[in-house]
Each structure stands twice: as C-alpha cells, then as structure tokens.
Amino acid sequence: MPIPQNTLPVPRHLAVIMDGNGRWAARRKRPRMIGHRAGARAVNTCIDFCLEHGIGALTLFAFSSENWGRPEEEVGALMKLFLNALEREVDELHRRGVRVRFIGERHRFSTSILERMQHAETLTAGNTRLHLSIAASYGGRQDIAMAARALAEDVAAGRLRPEDIDEATFGTRVALSDLPPPDLFIRTGGDTRISNFLLWQLAYTELWFTETLWPELDADTLRQAIAAYASRERRFGLTGDQVAGLATHIPPEAAAR
C-alpha cells in the first residue's frame, strides 16, 4: 500500500517563528538589536538545514504586522538589518538554488527595501531547490482579510458567483497558495502561541515549540524538531486505523499534501 505523502518523516514545508532575539540580548546585558543581529545569522543555519535535508519549502516569520508598534528605534534598526541582509545574502541564495519571496503588506516598507525585495524575487524566480518565503509585515488575519477582499472584488465585477466561494477558492487567495501547507511549525523562544502567523495555512500543521532562543538555533535543535514530527500520527480528522491502513480513506485534500 503506498504511503500517503503526508506521513513522510521529512516535512515538505517548514514554517518557523524566529522568536527570542530580545531575550537573548537581555541575558547578555546587551541592546535588543544585538540579538536581532545574532538572529540574522541563525537564519542561515535554518536554510542550510533545509537544503541538506531536502525540505523543499521554508517560511520564516521575520516581522509581524504588530511589530510595527515596537519602539521607533527598534523598528528602524530592524529595517536597516533587513536591508543589509537583502544586500548581503541574496546572491549566495541564488547560487544555492533558493527561490526567495516575501509575503505581507509590502507597501509599508521604504522604497530601498521594496526594490531589494523585488530584485531578490526576480533574480531567484527560476530556482527550485528551496522555496524560501519571508513573512515581513505579515499578519495571518490581514492575509485572510485580503483574500476576502479579493473575492468580494471578483464577485462585484461579475467574475465570480458567491456560491462558488468555498475552501478551495478561498485557499487560492491566501499567501503561499502555490505551496503545500506547512507540515511542521517551529517556534523558538519558549512561548506557545501562533502570534498571528499563517492562521489559514496552519490548520493541520504539526506544532513544535522549543525554549531555545532564536540566535542559539543549531542543527541539533532542528533535528529534534524533525524527530518529533516523524513520531507524530497525523490524522486529519480521521481515525488512527484509517490513516494507518486505509490510504483510500485519506481525503483527497490530505492525500495531495
């Protein structure tokens, strides 16, 4: 009997909340920004891990819609760090076959950042080894609200009938609709919440939390997460017997994952 893809030990799509930079710095009696800088290095650890382990899609929560409300100094410093990272890393990502894109409200960024984002997306558009999505100025509720607006516009323009709106059509309008939904979600920093990350997309994602602060992330921690994921039984609302033995009972949506 073929094993449904959704039970494979390696996630096809990993979604990560990179949290704990500020606390990492505070423990060292350093400014929060030092933590963010150290956090930027941990991003490479995570990307390397995905490339080595054949994880095809990685989505990183870098900056939330709500993070704009942080002190001006921190937001300004984060923007500078973001711009520097774009300038420094994109060529190497391209060389390694990584496709980069950004999800979130990008009109809130400065022109210089917008241009670098656009450049990164265009340069790497043809890459297929790893699909890296950076959620920046992103909020899950905002994502869902924008999908609803897009559908409403289609209805108003006569392109869509209200009765044609269902989970499938809605799902094509939220971010990352061209990727399988995340199989595994990781949050570092010890807090066990989703903080307005991919609310729609995480419906059946396996969640894994660690006390490790983001700047301390290493391959060992990621291996632990993958091992935990591999030991889980994903049931998608079915019974354990169904998912264990009867692949024909896997709903088409789950089987396609």
Closest distance to ligand IPE from the beta carbon of 74 (Å)? 8
Q: Which is nearer to ligand IPE, 36 or 257 (CB)?
A: 36
> Do residues 135 and 59 make contact, with C-beta atoms less than 8 angstroms apart?
yes
With CB cut-offs between 5 and 8 Å by kind, which of ligand IPE, Mg ion, none does residue 23 bind? ligand IPE
Residue at 104: amino acid letter: G
Q: Which of residues 188-247 bind ligand IPE (CB under 6 A)?
A: 189, 191, 193, 195
Closest distance to ligand IPE from the beta carbon of 138 (Å)? 8
Under the binding rule (CB under 5 A), the answer on residue 19 touching Mg ion is yes
Closest CA to 199 of 212, 182, 178, 214: 182
3-state secondary structure of 178: coil
Range in contact with ligand IPE (rule: CB under 6 A) among 4-12, 56-64, 167-175, 240-248: 56-64
6 is catalytic: no
Element (H, E) at 16: strand 13-17
3-state secondary structure of 233: coil
- Give the residue closest to ligand IPE by C-beta: 22
Under the binding rule (CB under 6 A), the answer on residue 103 touching ligand IPE is no
Query: Residues touching ligand IPE: how many (CB under 6 A)?
Result: 17
Residues whose CB falls within 8 Å of the CB of residue 163, separated by 6 or more in sequence, listed in order? none
127 is catalytic: no
Count CB neighbours of 171 within 10 A.
16
What is the C-alpha separation between 56 and 12, in angstroms, rounded? 5
With CB cut-offs between 5 and 8 Å by kind, which of ligand IPE, Mg ion, none does residue 185 bind? none
Count CB neighbours of 49 within 10 A.
20
Catalytic residue among 6, 19, 143, 183: 19
- Interface residue with ligand IPE among 13, 46, 57, 63 (CB under 6 A) is 63
Concatenate the DSSP letters of all residues of 109-173 into one string: S-HHHHHHHHHHHHHHTT--SEEEEEEEEE-HHHHHHHHHHHHHHHHHTTSS-GGG-SHHHHHTT
Q: Which is nearer to Mg ion, 10 or 34 (CB)?
A: 34
> Do residues 142 and 112 make contact, with C-beta atoms less than 8 angstroms apart?
no
Under the binding rule (CB under 6 A), the answer on residue 143 touching ligand IPE is no
Under the binding rule (CB under 5 A), the answer on residue 61 touching Mg ion is no
Range in contact with Mg ion (rule: CB under 5 A) among 17-25, 55-63, 127-135, 162-170: 17-25
Under the binding rule (CB under 6 A), the answer on residue 140 touching ligand IPE is no
Active site residues: 19, 67
Q: Which residues bind ligand IPE (CB under 6 A)?
A: 17-23, 61-64, 67, 78, 189, 191, 193, 195
